[in-house]
Structure 1
């Protein structure tokens, strides 16, 4: 969603949302005879797709959804939501040209991606409000990258929150439904991403089917318990070996896997770490490595290890030097490590 269109969206004064003008008690009476819903779906990325598919299935099976149309970015080079919508014959709208007048023809908005902020005038167009599928147990990990930060922080648990969109702030709306999942010690980001996307899709349709019931049981977020998951900066991938424990480097690797490699430096050349492993049973040595980032190679086991700030080691399985081809640990030893003095065998 692109910020230049905020002014366009704010020029039209829509009707006031029903859920802003009636009490919870009267809402139950008002929707005693629940009607089917006209849904406008907003999304672009792969995380959005299972939710769109689930809503579409609900429509096809004559569930609560009566009509479904899709708002997405026509500029995105790879847009699975647009691809699926076209193949399924769902009406498409370009976000750049979407106005409150378009939204006013629908009962409920469903948003996966809500940055920049959707203007209040746009939100109020939907009688039943707007829902968001957020990949954390709010108020934990508010922000653009909750899955990455959950793994990078070493969390053992995260989940999905279905929340109402509120104007002027991100990820602060009342929660309809949450579902928790565990994060395994070796779980990589793509695996957790796909699990959460599937669970989010199920939770979303559950809420849509009994929207009025969930609106009666809204949970207000406790801001005092909020933590944050900001957009990933390129420097997030850079490793400072003297500051990092083996666990923290491994967690960051798992969090960024499939997005970008970890970055370090060897002999003045940029090194990208594509694949590594960590033996969590190894103990912290009584005497730490002489220099964090120290590299060791075993000819017997053909293992390339790097020592971290706590003295524990990670095994390097795939890496590249200077933007060239991907190397195994043995290739790196033969081509680079074996050609320098032992005192120079370390990452900076």
Structure 2
């Protein structure tokens, strides 16, 4: 059960191990951004490529879907960024339960956006947790976990790729332990739980009153989607890459003609940038065709 690109490596590993995949659940096809055609999810496409049966219900919360899943009668259900909460009455329909690949070191960052929130928060490490799905959001006992370092060069896209590959390896290890009845699940310390709420439009707007490192972390967390932006001449201009520079000035203004921007403590040097409807550009190329001169206020 999975939907985005993040879930594809796990499906590939399951296929490589020649496990009997009786059904693949994914989100329904939807219209593309331009609305010209219907697009299937990455997991849907990968499943079809390998001649797997695909089921894409709009919701699981009805009697028809309950009966459908009951008829499938799986030994084990694997969940990776499926995009729907598994109803409680489903949980006993899989003989050995529902096992989830979660992209954080639980109990930290339960919820919809663990990768983005870990970068925004300036965490030094994150990782993958293989957990049993129970009632409650990402609160079930953990079977396996492994951590990786977050450095300043990692954005959401790069870190997501690393974690998806790590998760695909760990789930095979988990299935082997379950198959041999050697799986051990440890309860989470719920007192240490943090919540990774879904990214909203408020998270996207850059607040120059924040420290420079915080703004760089925001930019990294929202790359490649949806992007962090500031306003200039009533346009939302997105910054895709930046670095901290040890300079100070009036907050929210440019300190030179090359998009060095003052923040609360230091400044950030913009490296990659994009105007609405235009391509992403290196800052030097961007400024050849669009001037943001020294002392411009970016509000």
**Equivalent pair of 1:141/1:226 in contact (CA under 8 Å):** yes
* Alignment pair present for 1:246 and 2:212: yes
What is the 5 A alignment of 1:89-128?
Answer: 89-96=51-58, 99-104=65-70, 105-128=73-96
- Per the normalisation by structure 2, the TM-score is 0.87
Measured in 1, the distance between the counterparts of 2:199 and 2:42 equals 22
How far the C-alpha of 1:333 sits from its partner, in A, is 7.2
3-state SS of paired residue (2:128): strand
Residue 259 (str. 1) matches residue 225 (str. 2): yes
Residue 66 of structure 1, CA deviation: 3.5
Counterparts of 1:306 and 1:333, CA distance in 2: 18
TM-score (norm 1): 0.75
Q: Does 1:143 align with 2:102?
A: no
* 1:213 to partner: Cα distance: 5.7
Instruction: Give, in whole Å, the separation in 2 of the partners of 1:177 and 1:314.
Output: 39
Deviation at 1:329, TM superposition (A): 3.7
In 2, are the aligned partners of 1:297 and 1:333 still within 8 Å (CA)? no
1:172 corresponds to: 139
Q: Give the structure 1 partner of residue 264 of structure 2.
A: 309
How far apart in 2 are the matches of 1:170 and 1:215? 25
Counterpart check, 1:318 vs 2:286: no
Residue 275 of structure 1 is matched in structure 2 by 240
Are the equivalent residues in 2 in contact too, given 1:176–1:215 (CA < 8 A)?
no
The answer to which structure has the higher helix fraction is 1
Q: Over residues 198-229 of structure 1, what are the superposed CA-to-partner deviations in whole Å (9 max), with x where a residue is unaligned?
A: 01011011110111567652110011010111
1:293–1:333 CA distance, 2 compared to 1 (3 A): farther
Shift of 1:325: 6.1
Q: What residue is the counterpart of 1:68 in the other structure? A: 22
Match of 2:159 in 1: 192
1:53, distance to aligned residue in structure 2 (A): 0.9
State the match for 2:7 in structure 1: 48
Deviations 1:135-177 (A, max 9, x none): 000000001000001111111100000001112x110001010
Picking from 189, 205, 226, the partner of 2:172 is 205
SS at match of 2:89: helix
Residue 298 (structure 2) aligns with:
347
* Distance change >3 Å, CA 241–CA 124, structure 1 → 2: same
Output the CA distance in 2 between the equivalents of 1:248 and 1:325: 25
Shift of 1:317: 3.0
In the superposition, relative to structure 1, how do residues 72 and 241 fare at CA in structure 2: closer, same or farther (>3 Å)? same
Contact 1:176–1:214 at 8 Å: present in 2 too? Answer: no
Distance 1:148 1:332 in 2: 29
Q: Within 2, Cα distance between the matches of 1:103 and 1:256?
A: 36
Tell me the secondary structure at the aligned position of residue 113 of structure 1: coil
Q: How many residues align?
A: 284
- What is the CA deviation profile of residues 253-276 of structure 1, one whole-angstrom value per residue up to 9, with x for unaligned ones? 111110022111224x12322333
- The 2-side partners of 1:227 and 1:251 are apart by 18
What residue ranges of structure 2 are gaps of 5+ in the alignment? Answer: 31-38
- Choose from 1, 7, 16 the match for 1:57: 16
Contact preservation (8 Å) 2:13, 2:172: yes
1:112-148 C-alpha deviation (Å, 9 max, x unpaired): 1354422122111111000110000000000100000
Consecutive unaligned residues of structure 1, counting only runs of 5 or more, are 1-41, 60-64
